[in-house]
Amino acid sequence: MLFLWLYMFYSCAGSCAGLAARGSPAPPRAAPPGEPGEESSPEEQRAAPDAASPISSFFNGSGTKRLPQAIIIGVKKGGTRALLEFLRVHPDVRAVGAEPHFFDRNYERGLAWYRDLMPRTLEGQITMEKTPSYFVTKEAPARISSMSKGTKLIVVVRDPVTRAISDYTQTLSKKPDIPTFESLTFKNRTTGLIDTSWSAIQIGIYAKHLENWLLYFPIGQILFVSGERLISDPAGELGRVQDFLGLKRIITDKHFYFNKTKGFPCLKKAEGSSKPHCLGKTKGRTHPDIDQEVVQRLRDFYRPFNMKFYQMTGQDFGWD
């Protein structure tokens, strides 16, 4: 019986592969990140998704590579990695692990290259990616809209003052000799003029960035996730995200436990694993002590932008 099954499998694999080869052209090869790729014509960029051979489908899983229907576009140090890892528990979500940076750094490589980075999905599954720098990239909204006006966008936001300190903490871990947070915050500390050219400050002016996105997408097509609630009530925020994506609410309280050492929730079981999973050691770093006068100056600076952001989104994130 086993011999008969193997004979039928390999016979089918060979004939089906031959039919596939005769019936459709091979998809264009996308250059890996970091390598120069050949220029793609518009026709190649709109080419049909890659077709897997029967043998590779059997061993690697069937499915089709598709452009993402949903993208986590921001913000840096807001909780985007946590959200992506939590979402990947859902059986109907397939996501790229690394950040593609297609719409800000690799756009010239073309949509065929971008699609080739995506995981294979079955009918009914959602393809996703996350690149937090998209939210502050001026060209990103038009580029994503050009790919698909129906793309669902998710923005994870966090108290902009805490976010700025977290951003600085990450940089400090890589470059211990950088100036102090206080000195980088001000153009002139005597006058209290905030240096909005510093990216750690500039990213947190959420209302300004959102205005650019609303030129291309309706507000109802963008979901704003609270980075604070993602820590205090992960299941509640994931419920909103699943509803927004049109998914069944499968990720619930039973999937999480709170890690007191790290100070944030972890998964009881990660995607494709039976073991508990917490985000890596680069997450949950201890923030340096910042002069409280500087913190207050920043809160005063961000307050009007926060109020405008609340009005634009219809959500009060409670940062003041």
Is 66 annotated to bind ligand? no
> What was the pLDDT predicted at 41?
30
Strand 126-130 relative to strand 93-95, pairing: parallel
Helices (H), the chain: 2-23, 42-45, 54-60, 80-87, 111-117, 140-147, 160-174, 181-185, 199-202, 206-213, 227-232, 234-244, 292-313
Is 197 annotated to bind ligand? no
Contact between 228 and 159 under an 8 Å Cβ cutoff? The reply is: yes
Pull the structure tokens for residue 153: 């966008």
Is 77 annotated to bind ligand? yes
Pull the structure tokens for residue 252: 């619930």
Is 220 annotated to bind ligand? no
d(CA 122, CA 64): 7
Please give the positions annotated as active site.
77
- Can you give the pLDDT of all 320 residues of the chain as single tens digits? 444 444 444 444 444 433 333 333 333 333 333 332 222 333 323 333 333 333 333 334 589 999 999 999 999 999 999 999 999 999 999 999 899 999 999 999 999 999 999 999 999 999 999 999 999 999 999 999 999 999 999 999 999 999 999 999 999 999 999 999 999 999 988 888 999 999 999 999 999 999 999 999 999 999 999 999 999 999 999 999 999 999 999 999 899 988 877 777 899 876 666 667 787 655 556 888 999 999 999 999 999 999 999 999 999 999 98
Q: Cis ω on the peptide bond leading into residue 75 (within 30° of 0)?
A: yes
Is 272 annotated to bind ligand? no
64-163+202-286: CATH superfamily:
P-loop containing nucleotide triphosphate hydrolases (3.40.50.300)
Residue whose C-alpha is closest to residue 217's, from 70, 86, 96, 80: 70
> What was the pLDDT predicted at 258?
85
Is 284 annotated to bind ligand? yes
Contacts of 200 (CB under 8 A, 6+ apart): 164, 167, 168, 171, 184
- Stated pTM of the model: 0.78
